């Protein structure tokens, strides 16, 4: 569908975080120029003008339309922006400045000045990820994380070869109080369209990321976009990912009886958008009123009719509460609006619990966007409407990384948001 003239890159300048002198400051810009040099120069110059200096950290999101020119990205960014640290990824679509560019050439850049904080980038090959254990000391040594610091992580991984679940689990166990957020690189179905960026080079495999330490705080919002149907029940028999029984009865029988009680519209959603919600304890954010979702949403992968069981995209244990969920555009919209509104109340300017947002990263599933909502700019527009003109960068992912409860997961059909700000003051 045609985009309004106000969404062209010439129509707006960079989004810039309003901050006092010496405080954290971010700027973002997106360009839809079709020549890679022009696109990077256009966005980079506006980010640098917004900051007034080269950024301590720049994160770049590059449309897979530029797959043949990925190697030029790092050198061009150092030429036009000169960041101290640089990381990024390819995307089937990119997000910036409250706009989304799907299925067409675009480059999005978000850069930050981080006084009192440090941004350190890294690359982990697939084989090394599989060999790393959960020892905090070994992780600190491998990633050069200073002893005593509390790191947060922004992560990008290759979906074709990176054991992302293992990486996330290991980081969770080594740094249980740290935030891990990001997404799996995307492009086309061709693996050569997938790429990640670190400093001046490209990384075709494994994972890249940035470690944030010092005077920087990362808050997360994970909107899974589903609503419950029917009543919750207890898993009474399970084996690995096979959900055999709920409340002592076949899980398939449980589902079929529920379907019979639903309206025709809900029955249609069950056929096309059925998910299983696995109950989790809600986590209060350090004593604040904002709480995360009560269920971890997982795909229903298949049916074992012979055993009357369902295959779920998650390891199950007996005794846990589950509830069937469906996904639709209205539910996804309402959940994202609600979660951002609740968060914004906590972090509004003048709040006693800390600084408001300085920069925002939005990692949205390729299954959202126009595919789910029928219009472009849906999720980024809600973030902009609810949080103001905060600098924003992101992309459409092959899987989204973010916490639900105390645990970090790899999600699907989700918007995972990282809000970056200075640490709270005493």
Average pLDDT value for the chain: 89
Which residue in 291, 414, 286, 361 sits closest to 96, CA to CA? 361
In the sheet that 117-124 helps form, which strands lie side by side, from edge to edge? 117-124, 207-214, 152-157, 180-184, 400-404, 407-411
- Tens of pLDDT, residue by residue over 198-248, are 999 999 999 999 999 999 999 999 999 899 999 999 999 999 999 999 999
Count the helices and strands in the chain (H runs, E runs): 10, 27
Cα dist. 199→57, 75, 233, 391 in Å? 10, 8, 49, 22
Extended beta strands in 67-216, E state: 85-91, 93-96, 99-102, 107-113, 117-124, 152-157, 180-184, 196-198, 201-203, 207-214
Residues contacting residue 41 through CB under 8 Å, at least 6 positions apart:
76, 80
pLDDT the model gives residue 424: 61
Measure the CA–CA gap between 95 and 106, rounded to whole angstroms: 9
Measure the CA–CA gap between 397 and 21, rounded to whole angstroms: 35
Is the Cβ–Cβ distance between 241 and 313 less than 8 Å?
yes
Measure the CA–CA gap between 219 and 383, rounded to whole angstroms: 14
- Tens of pLDDT, residue by residue over 23-79, are 899 999 999 999 999 999 999 999 999 999 999 999 999 999 999 999 999 999 999
Weakest-pLDDT range from 123-132, 153-162, 414-423 = 123-132
Q: How many residues does the chain have?
A: 426
- Tens of pLDDT, residue by residue over 105-128, are 999 999 999 999 999 999 999 988
pTM to 2 decimal places: 0.88
Confidence of residue 130 (pLDDT cuts 50, 70, 90): confident
Q: Does position 258 have pLDDT exceeding 70, yes or no?
A: yes
Percent of the chain with pLDDT over 90: 79
pLDDT the model gives residue 374: 93
Measure the CA–CA gap between 128 and 141, rounded to whole angstroms: 14
Which residue, chain included where needed, has tokens 């069937």?
324
pLDDT the model gives residue 356: 80
Q: Does position 286 have pLDDT exceeding 50, yes or no?
A: no
Q: How crowded is residue 115: how many other Cβ atoms within 10 Å of its Cβ?
A: 15
The helix (H) or strand (E) run that includes residue 423 is: none
Q: Does position 288 have pLDDT exceeding 90, yes or no?
A: no
Mean pLDDT of 361-372: 95
Cα dist. 131→135, 163, 204, 220, 221 in Å? 12, 11, 19, 28, 30
Confidence of residue 355 (pLDDT cuts 50, 70, 90): confident
Q: Does position 385 have pLDDT exceeding 60, yes or no?
A: yes
């Amino acid at each position: 569908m045609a985009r309004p003239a106000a969404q062209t890159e010439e129509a707006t300048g960079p989004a810039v975080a309003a901050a006092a002198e010496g405080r954290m400051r971010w700027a973002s810009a997106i360009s839809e120029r079709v020549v890679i040099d022009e696109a990077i120069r256009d966005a980079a110059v506006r980010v640098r003008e917004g900051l007034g200096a080269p950024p301590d950290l720049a994160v770049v999101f590059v449309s897979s339309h530029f797959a043949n020119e990925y190697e030029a990205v790092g050198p061009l960014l150092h030429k036009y922006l000169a960041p101290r640290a640089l990381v990024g990824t390819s995307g089937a679509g990119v997000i910036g400045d409250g706009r989304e560019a799907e299925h067409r050439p675009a480059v999005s850049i978000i850069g930050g000045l981080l006084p009192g904080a440090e941004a350190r980038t890294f690359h982990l090959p697939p084989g090394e990820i599989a060999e790393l254990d959960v020892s905090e000391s070994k992780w600190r040594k491998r990633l050069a994380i200073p002893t005593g610091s509390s790191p947060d992580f922004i992560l990008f991984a290759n979906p074709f070869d990176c054991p992302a679940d293992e990486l996330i689990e290991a980081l969770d166990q080594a740094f249980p109080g740290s935030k891990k957020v990001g997404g799996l690189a995307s492009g086309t179905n061709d693996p050569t369209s997938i790429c990640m960026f670190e400093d001046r080079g490209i990384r075709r495999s494994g994972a890249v990321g940035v470690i944030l330490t010092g005077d920087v705080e990362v808050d997360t919002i994970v909107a899974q976009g589903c609503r419950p149907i029917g009543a919750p029940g207890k898993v009474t028999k399970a084996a690995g990912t096979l959900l055999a029984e709920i409340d002592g009865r076949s899980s398939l029988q449980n589902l079929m009886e529920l379907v019979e009680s639903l309206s025709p519209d809900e029955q249609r959603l069950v056929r096309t958008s059925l998910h299983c919600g696995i109950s989790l304890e809600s986590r209060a954010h350090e004593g604040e009123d904002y709480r995360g979702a009560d269920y971890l949403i997982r795909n229903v992968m298949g049916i074992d009719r012979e055993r009357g069981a369902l295959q779920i995209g998650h390891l199950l244990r007996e005794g846990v509460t589950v509830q069937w969920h469906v996904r639709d555009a209205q539910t996804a919209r309402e959940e994202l609006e609600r979660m951002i509104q609740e968060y914004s109340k906590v972090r509004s300017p003048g709040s006693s619990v800390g600084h408001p947002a300085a920069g925002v990263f939005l990692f949205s599933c390729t299954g959202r966007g126009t595919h789910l909502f029928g219009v472009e700019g849906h999720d980024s527009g809600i973030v902009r409407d609810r949080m103001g003109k905060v600098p924003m960068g992101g992309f459409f992912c092959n899987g989204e990384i973010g916490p639900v409860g105390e645990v970090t997961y790899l999600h699907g059909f989700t918007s995972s948001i990282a809000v970056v700000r200075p640490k709270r003051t005493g």
